[in-house]
Amino acid sequence: MPLYEFQCQKCNETFTKRMSISEMEKRKVRCPKCKSQRVKKVISGFYSITSKK
């Protein structure tokens, strides 16, 4: 499951949530600190593990 990073527009808290792609499309994300729905997705880095061929 992918990890998504968010930042609350109300209290400026940055937090990470693990959710499936379908959950991401359907659910409203709330800030865990102030419970606001005014959050935006933050672009973050990622890594992947692949087999060497």
Domains assigned to the chain: 3-42 (2.20.28)
Which percentage of the chain shows pLDDT scores above 90? 53
CB neighbour list of residue 15: distance below 8 Å, 6 or more residues apart: 5, 6, 7, 8, 31, 32, 33
Express each pLDDT in 30-40 by its tens digit. 999 999 999 99
Residue 40 backbone class (left: φ over 0; alpha: ψ -120 to 50; beta: rest) = beta
Q: Considering the entire predicted model, what is its pTM? A: 0.74
Express each pLDDT in 7-28 by its tens digit. 999 999 999 999 998 888 888 8
pLDDT at 29: 93
Could you count the other beta carbons within 10 Å of the beta carbon of residue 34?
Answer: 12
Are 32 and 7 spatial neighbours (Cβ–Cβ below 8 Å)?
no
